[in-house]
Amino acid sequence: MKKKVFILSISLLFGTAFSQECKYHKVKSGETLEKIAKNYGVSVQELIKANKNIDPNKLKVGENLCIPQKISAKTRDYAVYKVKKGDTLYSIAKKFGVDVQELKSFNNLESEKIIEGQEIKIPAKGTVKKQRRETQEYGTYVVQKGARLEHIAKKLGVSQRELEELNPELKGKWLTKGTVVKVPKQEQKKEKREESYTVYKIKKGGRLEHVAERLGVPKEELERLNPELKGKWLSAGTEVKVPVKAEKKEPKVPYKTYVVQRGAKLEHVAKKLGVSQKELEELNPGLKGKWLTKGTVVKVPLKVEEKRHAVRPVEKPLEERKQESTPKTEAEMPREVKISKNSLPMPVDGRVSKNGRGINISTDCGKPVRAVDSGRVIYSGGDLKAYGNMVIVDHGDFISIYAYNEKNLVKRGDRVSSGQQIALVGRRNEGEECMLYFELRNKEGVPLDPTEYIRNTQ
């Protein structure tokens, strides 16, 4: 008899749990039941039924009202149990007649450790089997550090849209460490079976052929990875899967960067710098055959510069880095850098560390990045994956570069004044650390040590 009563009480518990769920509203001064019902899109009768102890004609300020949520049995096929003192996962499983492992899996628990007051979902009969069937269609990813779905999408090389469809409850939220995110298993298999891909976000309207031309990828590969986008006009913000091999990742050949001073093609840059056109095309596949406008950043193999060092006499450091093709009359120019030592302000406050030709400034994400001097913006974009969003400003006597930006606030051709906000600090290569990458160069594009010209870098 006792066993029958216990089973009946459990079935009643599930029956009430699945019929209604509450969202609570704290009554404010001047609010009426009619006004609250209208705001939440429910009827007054539904409010009264869900809040039997209230006076419909006289609501108390600060009183919590249950706003009934319309949830189908399919959506909510579990009951919620609040852990009491002395409870264990085993005792709860035994009490409700479910398997401990099923209970652990249903609640995404990494261990059997639970605490008093914790809410545990008790699955209805058959729910766990159904969940198992569903999980066969996707894998799971445990968040290691705070992030949003968009960050996880970039890290795993999947579409943000797909993650949002699998995890609607996580859309737009900040995910703390330990959050379990559903990841499309189909994409994981595809990555093992074929080449992996990254996601490119359209900046201006276009078609797949325009993206293919911009990134130097065959249109057929983009159409194979994005069949749903074939032949369509893609608006700004559309996410396109791009084969990683097309972006070359980061070239194994060490390289520096050269900023184009006047319109030219790669063959002209190769001739000017004394490098092979083929090497430039391999390092810059997206620029092959294109006309490069002033401000375009070109990757140049570092080994060429190292060869020059081997045959040059010992000179001042700036002269050692001079381009070999520069005429003798211009070779003296690096000595005459028309900016005084320690005269420029920090582009953003933070901890400074050396990074190759420039410096990293570790600081908070979203902090304003300011121009170190007045000048004209000659580049604003995110075409170079290694640098993310980047702004380059021509100050007449020198050039300043600001990279890893969360957002660029200026566009090419804009005039900026000293101290003007031009970008927001972002994350290094879409990682976890917030920082700004900063460089200074002379008019010929030769790097200058920022710590010699920027104040308070020590």
Rounded Cα distance between 145 and 66, Å, is 35
Say which range, 69-78, 100-109, 118-127, 396-405, has the weakest mean pLDDT: 69-78
Please tell me whether residue 276 adopts helix, strand or coil conformation. Answer: coil
Provide the whole-model pTM.
0.32
Minimum mean pLDDT among 61-75, 96-110, 366-380: which range?
61-75
Q: Residue 326: which pLDDT band, with cuts at 50, 70 and 90? A: very low
75 or 406, greater pLDDT: 406
Residue 200 in tokens: 């490119």
Contacting residues for 253 by C-beta, under 8 A, at least 6 apart: 279, 282, 283, 301, 302, 303
pLDDT of residue 286: 80
Q: Which residues contact 35 (CB under 8 A, 6 or more apart)?
A: none
- pLDDT attached to residue 245: 56
The token pair at 370 is: 């300011």
**pLDDT single digits (tens) 2-23:** 444 344 344 434 443 334 567 7
Residues recorded for the chain: 458
| DSSP 8-state class, residue 118 | -
Contacts of 80 (CB under 8 A, 6+ apart): 17, 119, 120, 121, 122
Query: Is residue 247 a contact partner of residue 195, using CB atoms and an 8 Å limit?
Result: no
Lowest mean pLDDT, pick from 25-34, 83-92, 102-111, 386-395: 102-111
Mean local confidence (pLDDT), 67-90: 74
- Could you tell me which of 373, 368, 377, 375 has the C-alpha nearest to residue 348? 368
Instruction: Assess whether pLDDT exceeds 50 at residue 297.
Output: yes
pLDDT in tens, 94-103: 888 888 888 8
- When pLDDT is averaged across residues 434-440 and rounded to a whole number, the result is 92
Per-residue model confidence as pLDDT tens digits over 98-149? 888 888 878 878 778 888 888 888 887 655 544 544 444 677 888 888 888 8
**15-19, 337-341, 366-370: which has the minimum mean pLDDT?**
15-19
Which pLDDT does position 306 carry in this prediction? 43
> Minimum mean pLDDT among 1-5, 260-264, 433-437: which range?
1-5
For residue range 147-196, list pLDDT tens digits in order.
888 888 888 878 888 888 888 888 888 888 878 888 886 544 443 434 46
DSSP 249: S
d(CA 147, CA 375): 36
Banded pLDDT at 417 (limits 50, 70, 90): very high
Residues 37/43, Cβ–Cβ less than 8 Å: yes
pLDDT confidence of residue 405? 92
Name, of 125-139, 214-228, 362-376, the range with top average pLDDT. 362-376
What's 375-444 look like in SS3? EEEEEEECCCCCCCEEEEEECCCEEEEEEEEEEECCCCCCEECCCCEEEEEEEHHHCCCEEEEEEEEECC
pLDDT of 303 reads 54
Listed in sequence order, the residues at least 6 apart from 135 whose beta carbon sits closer than 8 Å to its beta carbon are none
Q: Is the pLDDT of residue 42 over 50?
A: yes
The whole-angstrom separation of Cα 184 and Cα 195 is: 16
Residue 352 pLDDT exceeds 70: yes
Contacts (Cβ under 8 Å, ≥6 apart) of 127: 77, 78, 106
Residues 6+ apart with CB under 8 A from 55: none
CA distance linking residue 116 with residue 84, whole number of Å: 5
